[in-house]
Structure 1
Amino acid sequence: MSSWTAAHVAAIAPDAPTAPIIGAHDVRPVADNLDIWDAWPVQQRDGAPIELANGAQLWMALAAPHFADPDERHGRARIHLFHYRGDRWSHVGPAMPDGFSPGSREWSGSAIWDEASDDVILYFTAAGRRGEAAPSFEQRMFSARARLSEAGGLTGWQDLREIVTIDPDHYMSTREGGGIGTIKAFRDPAWFRDPADGRPYLFFAASRAGSTSAYNGVVGMASADPATPDDWVIAPPLLSADGLNNELERPHMVVYEGSYYLFWSTQRHVFNPDGPTGPTGLYAMVAPAVSGPWRPVNGSGLVFANPATAPAQSYSWMVLPDLSVTSFIDNWGDGDERRFGGTFAPFLRLWLDGDRAGVTA
């Protein structure tokens, strides 16, 4: 297991890369009375988004009705479908039918197109349990299959199964209390196929068992034999931020020019306040293989941050194989007034060169 340490975060340069400012012209709602946040495309096995017959890409995002307090959205989150074509987003509707998901809410995941069956396989987080009296923060990871409809939606959902269960030797239970930013994690399954040997992996946000720190975020891992890709075996964490940071959210892997990049998002307020603390941003490690050894990109792990004048303007970044980066608009603009965007942020593009990275101009 590799570590992301206080010494790495202390090495963040004062002139570290930052994302461009998001302005009012960028805040374009995708549907009436609907806020969205964490988003991901339906991907081919190599990570590229699939293309529908009409040329659109099929995407998923967490969505909820608009609330005066944006934090309330987490208690009503469902996965919705969207089409993306020609720089335009259109809302399709909820991905799964009412009553199908085993949770009281649906949280982040990933989705792939299975070329053998023509199914879409969704890997997602079930938060809480269906029918619970009050929303809990228990998290379980599931997969399910559906067929693509002629209209570019998903139908015939089936084969709902729990992917992996918590190994208490390595991962902490999520049944304890807490609130947004302090809860423990077992969520955000991101599917990846190693081009070196075809082995499938799932990377996920988790919390280290046995830690003496409240800040014990890790990137968890499961893998499967290519011959039986639905039979996942949980493994020890790939990366630990024990003592440094509580949440390494939406971890995912991209291979570029022979190097393996493990990306994750985190926020300033989930760092250990004893310091050092990093900005809200996209972070990464790089290695020659999944097995490592892993070293921090840019010497610190920070790929880019939100700008200092708008430190929470976007979040939940996902890097695609072409190095385009999606996220959602969070608290945009400067000043003290909270302005939750609740929509897709403009795409960014990275440059990667070994263990160096940044945002293209």
Structure 2
Amino acid sequence: MSPWTAQHVAAIRDDEAALPRIALADVARVSATIDIWDAWPVQDADGRPSALAGDATLWMALASPRFPDPDERHGHARIHLFRKDAGGWTHLGPAMPDGFSPGSREWSGSAVLGEDRRTLTLYFTATGLRGEPAPTFAQRIYRAEASLRAADANGPVFEDWRGLTELFVEDPRWYMASDAGSGSVGTIKAFRDPAFFQDPATGQRYLTFAGSDACSPSAFNGLVGLAVAQDDANRSWAIQPPIVTAAGLNNELERPHLIYQGGAYYLFWSTQRHVFDPAGPTGPTGLYGMVADRVEGPWAPLNGSGLVLANPAEAPAQGYSWLVLPDLTVISFIDNWGPPAADEPRRFGATFAPEVQLVLDGATARRKA
């Protein structure tokens, strides 16, 4: 397990990683009735968004009804389906039918379309328990399948949901129970965000996920977990030791995911300034990453510090939940992007952020100018 340490974070120069400031012209809502945040494509096994007719792609994102306080969305999160084409984004509704998921909320994951171009496998986080009177924070990693129905007047949809299976549970040798923390922002422990990766060099399939280090006495004990497929159908998975730990530094390494470029493996995750140990040093809210010669590591921080992209100092929470695609396009969502109106607790964008492009060169990563 490779450490991400205070010494690495102390080397950050976030002015070099700062993203452009989001402006009003960038805030194009997908829907007037829902807020969206964490997003991922319906992908091929190699990680690329699956192309449909007309070069359209399908995406999933967490969504909820709009609330006066945007933080309320987390207690109502469901995975919704979207179509992206030359005309922009179209909201297609919830991905899974009512009552199918075993949780009270659906949190992030990844989705893979099979070689038959019809069978979908969704890996996702079920949080809490269906029907619970108050939200709890136990997180479980599930797999389910569905069939893609050809587009009609309502757009493409997935139907015949089936095979709902919990893939693996926390191994207490490495992973803390996900309900061990409190429910307050920044203290929730993790066992969530499964991201599928097929190694092009070996064909082996992996899931990375966000976890919490059971071996650390620190309250700031985020890590990146790993599981390995045990069969060709990707129905059986075995949990592995974590690959990166931020014990003593940071509580949440969210939505970790892998890509393969130029013979090297790159691991990326998102985190926020307020989940670093306040004793310091702390980094900005941004996209972080490491590089290795193999999935199991050892991993070395990109740019010497781990920081790849950061919100600008004048808008430190303008975006979040960055996802790097195999062509090095980076997607995210617009968070607190500007001064709130008089009747708003904060100015929450609740839509897709402008895309940016990365350049990778060994252990160096930067935004393409």
TM-score higher than 0.5 here?
yes
CA contact (8 A) 1:18 1:307 kept: yes
Q: Does residue 166 in structure 1 map to residue 170 in structure 2?
A: yes
1:25-69 Cα deviation digits (max 9, x unpaired): 111111121000000000001110001224210000000011111
Runs of 4+ in 1 over 3 A off after TM superposition: 225-228, 334-337
CA displacement 1:281-300 (0-9 Å, x = unmatched): 00000011112221100000
1:223-234 matches, cutoff 5 A: 223-225=228-230, 227=232, 229-234=234-239
Q: Which residue matches 1:185?
A: 190
**Matched residues in 1 for 2:231 and 2:163: separation?**
19
Task: Find the counterpart in structure 1 of residue 261 from structure 2.
Answer: 256
Report whether the alignment pairs 1:153 with 2:154.
Answer: no
Contact conserved, 2:340 with 2:347, CA < 8 A, in 1? Answer: no
| AA aligned opposite 1:284 | G
Q: Pick from 206, 210, 215: which aligns with 2:215?
A: 210
Cα shift at 1:268: 0.1
Residue 132 of structure 2 corresponds to residue 132 of structure 1: yes
Q: 1:360 to 1:164 in 2, by over 3 A?
A: same
Task: Check the 8 A contact 1:172/1:209 in 2, yes or no.
Answer: yes
Letter in structure 1 aligned against 2:107 = W
> Which stretch shows the higher mean deviation, 79-88 or 156-165?
79-88
Match of 2:320 in 1: 315
| Equivalent position to 1:175, from 167, 175, 179 | 179
**Contact preservation (8 Å) 2:339, 2:347:** no
Could you say what the CA RMSD is over the residues aligned between the two structures, in angstroms?
Answer: 1.4
The residue type equivalent to 2:366 in the other structure is G
Within 2, Cα distance between the matches of 1:205 and 1:227? 24
Give 1:18 shift: 1.1
The corresponding residue for 1:102 is 102
Gaps of 5+ in 2: none
Corresponding position: 1:344 with 2:344:
no
Secondary structure of 2:28's aligned partner: coil
Figure out how many residues of one structure are paired with residues of the other and give that number. Answer: 361
* Cα distance in 2 for residues equivalent to 1:196 and 1:14: 34
Q: Which amino acid aligns with 2:245?
A: S
What displacement does 1:97 show?
A: 0.2
Q: Which amino acid aligns with 2:276?
A: F
SS at match of 1:272: coil
Task: Quote the Cα distance in structure 2 between the aligned partners of 1:200 and 1:303.
Answer: 26
Change in CA separation of 1:41 and 1:14 when aligned onto 2, cut-off 3 Å: closer
Unaligned runs of 5+ in 1: none
Q: Determine what percentage of the aligned residue pairs are the same residue.
A: 61
> Quick one: structure 1 residues 37 and 184, their matched pair in 2 at CA, closer, same or farther if it must change by over 3 Å?
same
In 1, Cα distance between equivalents of 2:340 and 2:28: 21
Deviation at 1:20, TM superposition (A): 1.1
Shift of 1:183: 0.5
Per the alignment, residue 113 of structure 2 pairs with: 113
2:37 matched to 1:33?
Answer: no
Distance 2:111 2:59 in 1: 9
8 Å contact 2:143–2:164 — kept in the other structure? yes
Partner-residue secondary structure (3-state), 1:304: strand
- Would you say the 8 A contact 1:254–1:321 is kept in 2? yes
2:291 is equivalent to residue 282 of structure 1:
no
Q: Is the 8 A contact 2:225 2:244 kept in 1?
A: yes
